[in-house]
């Protein structure tokens, strides 16, 4: 049973068995970095571009410390040239002595580079737009100019003994030959990482795999990737990039950033559920981090957030509930406890099944026959047809039903208020407006 379960999980979520032909095989995909990537956490750069974000120095430091505790490999900060305060904040965070390396993100320009290296950062992330649209409407430079400037900036940053990354912007709408030519040139001058950015969120997962796979054969340095979520593919694209050999993933807490943001922190770990428990990151701190940032930018955690959302581990349908009670991995790829979360089987609804009711009864120290559980379930479903019932309503029905059996008396199954008794007594099926439980 235990090995059955392990196989089930492995079949599903391991990079070595994701191929549907591959179930049962144990051949490793040496290209894939799904279980060994590094996180460049950009809540304090990309996240600051989120419409609602205004981080003061104190909040930035609080977030940086929390990210460090989570265990991110890098923390990326806003360009110190953006404003005086941005520069001062960058200097302050560099002095915290965090385990995470501190990066700042600049335009591919010597003016920016000089200010960046003076802040005390461990590395500089350089970027420039390479698509024809970016070149035309943003900076207006040609590819040869970009290459020349990039090399100048890279050599300058390296001469200060710190890391340097060179990224194109809007990589997926750039000419492939231009892209590879630039990446190859900066690789040859010893850049630490090249970056591929889906700045506008247009890339599809298979397109990402193809581009990263090709790039992996062109450069020998590390490959960082950055995906926007305009089309809802930012997690999937990060996952496919890792499969193709990318080494670093840009994230932000809750994915906050320009427009609707980027790959969220924890996303690639979530997409690879099986490795979560072996993750080098403190995934159990994810919820706290999300709460911290959500409060700072005054947003609610989305109800459907992929791991920490309200309902991520809530099971409702009868047949689901039954299987979950037998073995959680039947309907769960991620173990909620890896992320400090708990499972919840929702049984107070008309979709509930008798297995869920039996399980709940047992939690209440009530034991009945199968026939009695089924009859009790039918009564709960009948009541749930009339109005939404809360968990304690369901508990009350189970308890009353049980007492009725024991005593031989026939008491009402729920305390209904006056105007609810009429339709219930008349067994009317007309749904009515009632306060939600």
Among 63, 82, 182, 265, binds its own copies (CB under 8 A): 82
Q: How far apart are CA 28 and CA 30, in angstroms?
A: 6
Figure out which of the listed residues 220, 304, 369, 417 binds its own copies, where binding follows CB under 8 A.
304
Decide if residue 254 touches its own copies (CB under 8 A): yes
Residue 6 lies near its own copies (rule: CB under 8 A): no
Alpha-carbon distance of 80 to 89, in angstroms, equals 8
Q: Which two tokens stand for residue 194?
A: 């090249």
Give 174's Cβ-side CA count (13 Å radius): 26
Footprint (CB under 8 A) of its own copies, residues 305-334: 305-306, 309-320, 322-323, 326-327, 329-334
CA distance 290 to 296: 10
Specify whether the CB–CB gap between 284 and 338 falls below 8 A: yes
340 binds its own copies (CB under 8 A): no
* 289 contacts its own copies (rule: CB under 8 A): no
Positions in 371-430 near its own copies (CB under 8 A): 381-382, 384-385, 388, 429-430
Give min distance, CB of 243 to its own copies, in A. Answer: 7
Cα separation, 343 vs 336, whole angstroms: 7
Cα gap 191→182, rounded to integer Å? 11
The C-alpha R_g of the chain, in whole angstroms, comes to 27
> Strand 163-169 to strand 123-129: parallel, antiparallel, or no bridges (unpaired)?
parallel
223 binds its own copies (CB under 8 A): no
- Integer angstrom CA distances of residue 355 from 323, 349, 360, 377: 9, 13, 9, 9
Residue count, binding to its own copies (CB under 8 A): 126
- In order, the DSSP letters of 254-286 are GG-SSTT-BPBTTHHHHHTGGGGGG-SS-GGGH
Q: How far is the CB of 319 from its own copies (least distance, A)?
A: 6
In the region spanning residues 125 to 164, those forming contacts with its own copies, defined by CB under 8 A, are 129, 131-134, 136-139
Active site residue 248: no
37 binds its own copies (CB under 8 A): no
Catalytic entry in 105, 192, 315, 320: 320
Shortest spacing between CB 99 and its own copies, in angstroms: 26
With CB under 8 A as the contact rule, the residue among 35, 43, 48, 186 that binds its own copies is 48
Which of the ranges 142-150, 229-237, 396-404, 407-415 carries the binding residues for its own copies, by CB under 8 A? 229-237
Binding region for its own copies (CB under 8 A) out of 115-123, 154-162, 268-276, 394-402: 268-276
The 10 Å Cβ neighbour count of residue 141 is 16
Pick from 16, 221, 231, 405 the residue near its own copies by CB under 8 A: 231
Q: Convert residues 182-201 into a mask of x (bound to its own copies by CB under 8 A) and - (unbound).
A: -----------------xxx
From candidates 18, 38, 114, 379, binder to its own copies by CB under 8 A? 18
Q: Which residue is associated with the tokens 């992330």?
A: 125
The residue within the footprint of its own copies, chosen from 3, 26, 30, 84 (CB under 8 A), is: 84
118 near its own copies (CB under 8 A)? no
Nearer to its own copies, 226 or 315 (CB): 315
DSSP letters, 283-326, are GGGHHHHHHHHHHHTT-PPPTT-TTTSTTTTEE-SHHHHHHHHH
Positions marked catalytic: 320
């Amino acid at each position: 049973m235990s090995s059955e379960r392990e196989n089930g999980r492995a079949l599903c979520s391991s990079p070595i068995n994701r191929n549907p032909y591959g179930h049962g095989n144990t051949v490793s995909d040496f290209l894939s970095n799904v279980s060994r990537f590094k996180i460049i956490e950009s809540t304090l750069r990309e996240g600051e571009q989120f419409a609602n974000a205004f981080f003061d120095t104190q909040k930035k430091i609080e977030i940086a410390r929390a990210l460090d505790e989570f265990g991110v490999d890098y923390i990326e900060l806003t360009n110190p040239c953006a404003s005086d305060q941005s520069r001062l904040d960058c200097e302050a965070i560099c002095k915290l002595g965090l385990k995470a390396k501190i990066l700042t993100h600049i335009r591919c320009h010597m003016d920016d580079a000089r200010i960046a290296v003076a802040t005390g950062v461990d590395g500089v992330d350089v970027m420039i737009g390479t698509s024809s649209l970016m070149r035309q409407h943003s900076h207006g430079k040609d590819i040869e100019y970009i290459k020349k400037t990039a090399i100048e900036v890279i050599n300058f940053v390296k001469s200060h003994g710190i890391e340097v990354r060179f990224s194109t912007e809007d990589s997926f709408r750039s000419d492939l030959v231009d892209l590879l030519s630039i990446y190859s040139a900066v690789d040859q001058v010893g850049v630490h990482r090249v970056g591929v950015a889906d700045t506008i969120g247009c890339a599809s997962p298979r397109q990402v795999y193809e581009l990263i796979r090709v790039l992996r054969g062109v450069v020998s340095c590390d490959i960082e990737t950055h995906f926007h979520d305009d089309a809802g593919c930012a997690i999937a694209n990060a996952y496919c990039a890792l499969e193709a050999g990318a080494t670093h993933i840009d994230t932000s807490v809750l994915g906050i950033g320009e427009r609707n943001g980027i790959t969220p922190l924890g996303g690639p770990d979530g997409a690879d559920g099986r490795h979560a428990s072996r993750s080098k990151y403190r995934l159990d701190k994810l919820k706290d981090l999300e709460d911290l940032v959500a409060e700072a930018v005054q947003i609610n955690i989305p109800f459907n957030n992929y791991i920490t959302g309200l309902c991520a581990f809530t099971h409702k349908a009868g047949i689901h509930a039954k299987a979950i009670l037998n073995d959680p991995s039947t309907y769960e790829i991620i173990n909620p406890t890896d992320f400090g979360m708990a499972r919840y089987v929702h049984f107070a609804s008309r979709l509930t099944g008798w297995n869920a009711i039996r399980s709940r009864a047992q939690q209440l120290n009530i034991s009945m026959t199968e026939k009695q559980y089924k009859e009790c379930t039918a009564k709960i479903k009948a009541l749930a047809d009339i109005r939404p019932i809360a968990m304690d309503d369901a508990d009350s029905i189970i308890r009353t039903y049980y007492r009725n059996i024991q005593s031989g008396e026939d008491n009402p199954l729920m305390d209904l208020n006056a105007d609810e008794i009429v339709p219930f007594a008349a067994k009317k099926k007309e749904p009515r407006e009632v306060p939600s439980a």
